[in-house]
């Protein structure tokens, strides 16, 4: 299935109820605006356009650089897009936020949704679009002082388009994925040097190969591992490996029985075993294979196991979109929906922990302190930091801290105005 690129406020009625998921559109309820997870609530209410000068809707994980956190917001800022074109920001550990760059509506990129990566003191990132008509996206660099530079402009077709994932550094070269474009228009893997020299390594979409990758790659001893949200033998996405020379192999196809479906997050390597999440599927999934999701493990040779299916107990989270984080042998993650807060009807999302043997625990349910985290957590000195895409004091998302025992605090709330 070839999908068109849709805007943040498009396709309002495509999949507002759990029962409707994947029945007619083939999309999960979070992907009818593909890869852009500022979604409506279960009643179909979209967030209002936000044009806060400090940014709105942080979708990506934070980056710690010597005790200062750096991140991106999908909207807001002073650019000319409807609701703002997005920002790069910094925030101190005591909550002082500063906008480093507001993306204009020109070709240096708009709507960043991925985390930044630090390479020798310069930060590198991607934007999903390259201008307000939402063309193919960009790779950019930015200093911690806010000097931004366009490195590469995607064209959507021949060279890939809509990079949803953050870049990774492997030996001084950056590697990434695009959700669209390439020979089959179903996504690519690429490399790019810090001077902007770009190379396509793989085109997705041939046979039972994966399609539409949204997640960053994971480097394990010089071999990259990744996920695709769709494609594979059962059309529910894949885990794949790819060498730096572009040799790709599918390790696992999702969507068979109560296996997970539609992974949108990166894998993490813990002691030689990879761990990840699927947005949908699992033992408690609804009709059509959505919408609760799983945590799974997979060996480098492709032996996959579901560790936890979300939705099997009251107050559990569901729809995990983000990568896991390992801290002292325990994995931590977020879910976009679920939880116990009544004001959200259980839809504000959670922070959870899970052991490698599958013992899962909800640590925090979001409510007035933020809603709908799309990003993974980071560990800074034993305290975890993350973002929520919506909610908070002004409705446009938050930066928060949480201890491994579940004590949560909002550091910063993004503004609408």
Rounded CA separation 136/152 (Å)? 10
Picking from 281, 385, 414, 265, the residue whose alpha carbon sits closest to that of residue 327 is 385
Domain count, the chain: 1
In the predicted model, is pLDDT for residue 101 greater than 60? yes
Q: Which residue has the tokens 């760059």?
A: 101
Q: Is the peptide bond before 291 cis (omega within 30 degrees of 0)?
A: yes
- Of the candidate ranges 46-60, 166-180, 208-222, 375-389, the one whose mean pLDDT is the lowest: 46-60
Would residue 340 count as lying in a domain?
yes
Rounded CA separation 209/239 (Å)? 10
Would residue 391 count as lying in a domain?
yes
Q: Which residue has the tokens 């302190």?
A: 369
- Average pLDDT on 75-103 reads 93
* Per-residue pLDDT tens digits for 244-301: 999 999 999 999 988 999 999 999 999 999 999 999 999 997 755 557 999 999 999 9
Picking from 163, 109, 137, 134, the residue whose alpha carbon sits closest to that of residue 4 is 134
Would residue 412 count as lying in a domain?
yes
Assess contact for 317 and 338: CB atoms under 8 A.
Answer: yes
Question: pLDDT value at position 82?
Answer: 81
* Per-residue pLDDT tens digits for 336-378: 999 998 767 668 999 999 999 999 999 999 999 999 999 999 9
In the predicted model, is pLDDT for residue 175 greater than 90? yes
- Three-state SS for 327? strand
Would residue 158 count as lying in a domain?
no
Q: Give phi and psi for 227, each to the nearest 5.
A: -130, 155
Would residue 384 count as lying in a domain?
yes
- CATH number (domain holding residue 315): 2.120.10.60
- Output the CA–CA distances (angstroms, integers) from residue 196 to 118, 161, 199, 237, in the order listed: 16, 16, 10, 30
Rounded CA separation 291/305 (Å)? 19
For 247-293, strand residue ranges (E) read: 248-253, 260-261, 268-270, 273-278, 280-281
Could you tell me the residue range of the domain that residue 399 belongs to?
Answer: 310-417
Assess contact for 167 and 173: CB atoms under 8 A.
Answer: no
Would residue 351 count as lying in a domain?
yes
Q: What is the pTM of this model?
A: 0.89
Question: pLDDT value at position 106?
Answer: 77
- Three-state SS for 288? helix
In the predicted model, is pLDDT for residue 187 greater than 50? yes
Rounded CA separation 162/213 (Å)? 10
Would residue 403 count as lying in a domain?
yes
CA 378 vs. chain centroid, Å, equals: 14
Rounded CA separation 131/105 (Å)? 5
Would residue 209 count as lying in a domain?
no
């Amino acid at each position: 299935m070839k999908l068109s690129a849709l805007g943040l406020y498009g396709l309002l009625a495509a999949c507002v109820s759990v029962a409707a998921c994947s029945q007619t559109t083939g999309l999960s309820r979070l992907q009818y605006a593909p890869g852009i997870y500022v979604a409506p609530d279960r009643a179909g209410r979209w967030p209002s356009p936000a044009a806060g000068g400090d940014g709105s809707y942080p979708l990506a994980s934070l980056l710690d650089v010597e005790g200062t956190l750096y991140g991106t917001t999908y909207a807001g800022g002073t650019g000319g897009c409807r609701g703002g074109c997005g920002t790069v920001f910094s925030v101190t550990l005591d909550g002082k936020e500063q906008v480093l760059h507001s993306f204009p509506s020109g070709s240096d990129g708009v709507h960043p949704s991925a985390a930044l990566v630090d390479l020798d003191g310069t930060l590198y990132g991607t934007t999903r679009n390259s201008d307000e008509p939402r063309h193919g996206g960009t790779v950019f660099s930015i200093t911690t002082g806010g000097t931004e530079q366009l490195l590469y402009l995607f064209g959507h077709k021949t060279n890939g388009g809509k990079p949803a994932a953050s870049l990774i550094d492997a030996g001084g070269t950056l590697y990434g994925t695009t959700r669209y474009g390439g020979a089959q228009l179903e996504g690519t893997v690429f490399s790019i040097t810090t001077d902007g020299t770009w190379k396509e390594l793989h085109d997705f979409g041939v046979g039972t190969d994966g399609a539409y990758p949204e997640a960053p790659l994971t480097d394990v001893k010089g071999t990259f591992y990744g996920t695709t949200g769709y494609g594979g033998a059962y059309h529910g996405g894949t885990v794949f490996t790819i060498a730096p020379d572009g040799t790709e192999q599918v390790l696992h196809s999702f969507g068979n029985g109560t296996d997970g479906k539609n992974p949108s997050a990166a894998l993490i390597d813990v002691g030689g075993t990879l761990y990840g999440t699927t947005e949908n599927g699992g033992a408690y999934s609804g009709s059509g294979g959505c919408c609760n999701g799983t945590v799974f493990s997979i060996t480098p040779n492709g032996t996959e196991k579901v560790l936890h299916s979300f939705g099997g107990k009251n107050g559990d989270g569901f729809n995990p979109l983000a990568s896991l984080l390992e801290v002292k042998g325990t994995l931590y993650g977020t879910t976009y929906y679920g939880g116990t807060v009544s004001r959200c009807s259980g839809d504000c999302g959670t922070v959870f922990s899970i052991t490698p043997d599958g013992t899962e625990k909800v640590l925090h349910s979001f409510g007035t302190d933020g809603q709908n985290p799309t990003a993974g957590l980071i560990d800074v000195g034993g305290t975890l930091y993350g973002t929520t895409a919506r909610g908070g004091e002004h409705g446009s998302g938050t930066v928060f801290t949480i201890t491994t025992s579940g004590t949560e605090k909002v550091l910063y709330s993004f503004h609408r105005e």
